[in-house]
């Protein structure tokens, strides 16, 4: 499926995404742009939503927008295969906006 | 008028009045045009002598399209595009009306131009009305989408993406668990002291016993929670590979914490402190922080591990 709807659970992406927000995400099969919000298939945590930092072409660090979020060291590094979706739109209680 | 548009509600009233006036004008225009003999052609061709329709459905769609485009261009302040659309529209109307003038009467020609412009303006105004409606109610509309998605979530159960964090993050310390374990030992000591008292039936002593047991339950659960968070959130493959005993130690802590709830055996509580000390030692080693063994400077005065800072 090219587009999928996910529901955010948790506050680590505040103020961009709040707990309970819906996101419309597009399947990631394009260039991985540094600083995008993506959905990662983490082996330990399942699907997680984070902003990515491109370290090099094969490694990405994930971090939350919330300053109190887990550090990227806590989550470790990800390969391009782990990045599954790129978040395009959000539907929150306060409105709809592009990410 | 100044008084009328004092607040947002009055603005809405004003808009409604404006819209009503458009509808009113349209009705008046229809009343003027409809009884006209030439306009009887508007009806589908029932009898051949009545001729053709003035304006067909396809023409209405084309004119509405022009109106829609013009409305959008004006909304986005695209002046050149708006001029172009208007120019195209007038060329189109003139071309069509010229055919009417050539083939039919002058009256039909005027009626065609009037009706074309009416449809065009109505669509244009409808775009404005729609945009105003969306802009004025965008908050309600966005909430509406959110509510719809919430309802759909009940049936389709959208996949949850985790955005969890521990607050405050990066602050992990097994010392809280050590303090809780020491508290358990101390509470068991207090229970033992109370038990030795001859006047055990005294309500005050019973009250102390109950409070101690209740607190012991709480501290045991706290030990479990603190260790579980560090083990689950902080320890990753790298740390676990370096310290493969971690899983066993954590499991042992969980078992002993449960046992301290069930019994008032001091030995069990001391074992719990020992295991947490082992866990603390591993934890600080993963951070390359040196540790030391010290006797707690408060009762029950037993050995604990703390970082050398």
Question: B23-61: per-residue pLDDT in tens?
Answer: 666 666 665 555 454 444 444 433 434 555 666 777 778
Other C-beta atoms closer than 10 Å to the C-beta of B23 total 10
Question: Of A42-56, A70-84, B5-19, B283-297, where does mean pLDDT reach its minimum?
Answer: B5-19
Question: Which residue, among A70, A72, A87, A96, would best test binding to B if mutated, counting the most B CBs under 10 Å from its CB?
Answer: A70
**Residue B11 contacts A where some CB pair is shorter than 8 Å:** no
The number of CA neighbours under 13 Å toward the Cβ of B230 is 26
Could you give the CA distance from residue B83 to residue A63 in angstroms, rounded to a whole number?
50
The pLDDT assigned to B4 comes to 42
pLDDT average, residue stretch B92-96? 80
Confidence of residue B222 (pLDDT cuts 50, 70, 90): very high
Nearest to A48 by CA among A66, A75, A81, A24: A75
- Of A14 and B224, the one with more pLDDT: B224
Q: What are phi and psi of A12, to 5 degrees?
A: -70, -15
Whether the CA torsion B77, B81, B83, B89 is positive or negative: it is negative
Taking an 8 Å cut-off on Cβ atoms, the answer to whether B165 and A10 are in contact is yes
Whether the CA torsion B168, B169, B173, B178 is positive or negative: it is positive
Q: Which residues of chain A have pLDDT under 70?
A: 30-32, 67-76
Taking an 8 Å cut-off on Cβ atoms, the answer to whether A74 and B146 are in contact is no
Q: What is the tens place of the pLDDT at every residue in A83-95?
A: 888 998 998 877 7
pLDDT average, residue stretch B295-304? 90
Of B146, B161, B169, the CB nearest to A69: B169
| Mean pLDDT estimate for chain B | 79
Question: Of B152-166, B185-199, B204-218, where does mean pLDDT reach its minimum?
Answer: B152-166
Could you give the CA distance from residue B240 to residue A44 in angstroms, rounded to a whole number?
14
The pLDDT assigned to B232 comes to 84
- State yes or no: pLDDT of B152 exceeds 60: yes
- Of B261 and B114, the one with more pLDDT: B261
Other C-beta atoms closer than 10 Å to the C-beta of B279 total 25
Q: How far is B218 from chain A (nearest CA, A)?
A: 26
pLDDT average, residue stretch B164-169? 55
Contact residues, chain B, for A94 at CB < 8 Å: 139, 142
**In chain B, which among 217-246 make CB contacts under 8 A with chain A?**
233-234, 236-237
The pLDDT assigned to B1 comes to 38
ipTM of the assembly? 0.85
**Residue B31 contacts A where some CB pair is shorter than 8 Å:** no
Question: Which residue, among B142, B150, B154, B161, would best test binding to A if mutated, counting the most A CBs under 10 Å from its CB?
Answer: B161
Confidence of residue B119 (pLDDT cuts 50, 70, 90): confident
Contact residues, chain A, for B138 at CB < 8 Å: 95
Question: Of A16-20, B140-144, B180-184, B242-246, where does mean pLDDT reach its minimum?
Answer: B140-144
- State yes or no: pLDDT of B220 exceeds 90: yes
Length of chain A: 99
pTM summary value: 0.43
The answer to whether A96 and B144 have CB atoms below 8 angstroms apart is no
Confidence of residue B259 (pLDDT cuts 50, 70, 90): very high
**Token code pair at residue A13:** 């992406």
Taking an 8 Å cut-off on Cβ atoms, the answer to whether B163 and A49 are in contact is yes
Of B158, B159, B163, the CB nearest to A11: B163
The pLDDT assigned to A74 comes to 55
- SS3 per residue for chain B: CCCHHHCHHHHHHHHHHHHHHHHHHHHHHHHHHCCCHHHHHHCCCCCHHHCCCCCCHHHHHHHHHHHHHHHHHHHCCCHHHHHHHHHHHHHHHHHHHHHHHHHCCHHHHHHHHHHHHHHHHHHHHHHHHHHHHHHHCHHHHHHHHHHHHHHHHHHHCCEEEECCCCCCCCCCCCHHHHHHHHHHHHHHHHHHHHHHCCCCCCHHHHHHHHHHHHHHHHHHHHHHHHHHHHHHHHCCHHHHHHCCCHHHHHHHHHHHHHHHHHCCCHHHHHHHHHHHHHHHHHHHHHCCCCEEEEECCCCCCCEEEEECC
Report the residue of chain B nearest A41, measured CA to CA.
B161
Could you give the CA distance from residue B124 to residue B66 in angstroms, rounded to a whole number?
8
**Residue B138 contacts A where some CB pair is shorter than 8 Å:** yes
- Of B44 and B225, the one with more pLDDT: B225
The pLDDT assigned to B16 comes to 64
Report the residue of chain B nearest A9, measured CA to CA.
B162
Torsion of CA B261, B262, B268, B272, to 10 degrees: -30
Could you give the CA distance from residue B33 to residue B89 in angstroms, rounded to a whole number?
22
Could you give the CA distance from residue B229 to residue B242 in angstroms, rounded to a whole number?
19
Task: Say what percent of chain B tops pLDDT 90.
Answer: 28
Q: H or E element: which one contains B213?
A: helix B203-229
Pairing status of strand A3-9 against strand B159-162: parallel
Nearest to B275 by CA among B296, B304, B232, B233: B304
Taking an 8 Å cut-off on Cβ atoms, the answer to whether B142 and A96 are in contact is yes
């Amino acid at each position: 499926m090219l587009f999928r709807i996910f529901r955010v659970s948790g506050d680590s992406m505040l103020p961009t995404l709040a707990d309970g927000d819906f996101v419309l995400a597009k399947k990631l099969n394009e260039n991985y742009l540094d600083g995008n919000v993506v959905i990662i298939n983490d082996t330990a945590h399942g699907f997680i939503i984070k902003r990515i930092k491109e370290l090099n072409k094969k490694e990405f660090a994930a971090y939350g927008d919330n300053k109190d979020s887990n550090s990227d060291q806590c989550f470790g590094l990800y390969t391009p295969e782990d990045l599954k979706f790129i978040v395009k739109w959000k539907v929150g209680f306060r409105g709809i906006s592009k990410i | 008028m100044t008084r009328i548009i004092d607040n947002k509600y009055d603005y809405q009233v004003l808009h409604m009045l404006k819209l009503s006036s458009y509808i009113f004008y349209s009705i008046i225009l229809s009343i003027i045009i409809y009884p006209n003999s030439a306009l009887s052609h508007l009806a589908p061709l029932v009898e051949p002598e009545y001729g053709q329709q003035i304006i067909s459905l396809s023409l209405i769609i084309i004119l509405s399209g022009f109106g829609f485009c013009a409305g959008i261009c004006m909304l986005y302040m695209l002046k050149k595009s708006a001029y172009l659309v208007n120019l195209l529209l007038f060329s189109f109307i003139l071309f069509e009306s010229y055919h009417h003038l050539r083939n039919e009467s002058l009256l039909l020609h005027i009626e065609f131009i009037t009706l074309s412009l009416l449809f065009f303006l109505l669509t244009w105004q409808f775009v404005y009305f729609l945009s105003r409606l969306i802009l004025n109610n965008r908050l309600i509309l966005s909430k509406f989408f959110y509510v719809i998605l919430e309802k759909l979530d009940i049936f389709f159960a959208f996949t949850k993406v985790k955005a969890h964090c521990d607050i405050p993050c990066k602050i992990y310390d097994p010392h809280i668990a050590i303090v809780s374990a020491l508290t358990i030992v101390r509470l068991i000591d207090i229970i033992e002291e109370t038990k030795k008292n001859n006047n055990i039936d005294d309500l005050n002593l019973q009250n102390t016993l109950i409070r101690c047991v209740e607190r012991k339950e709480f501290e045991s659960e706290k030990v479990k929670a603190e260790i579980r968070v560090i083990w689950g959130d902080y320890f990753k493959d790298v740390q676990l590979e370096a310290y493969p005993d971690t899983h066993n130690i954590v499991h042992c802590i969980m078992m002993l914490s449960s046992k301290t709830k069930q019994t008032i055996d001091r030995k069990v509580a001391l074992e719990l402190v020992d295991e947490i000390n082992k866990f603390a030692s591993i934890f600080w080693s993963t951070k390359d922080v040196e540790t030391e063994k010290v006797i707690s400077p408060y009762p029950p005065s037993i050995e604990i591990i703390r970082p050398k800072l």
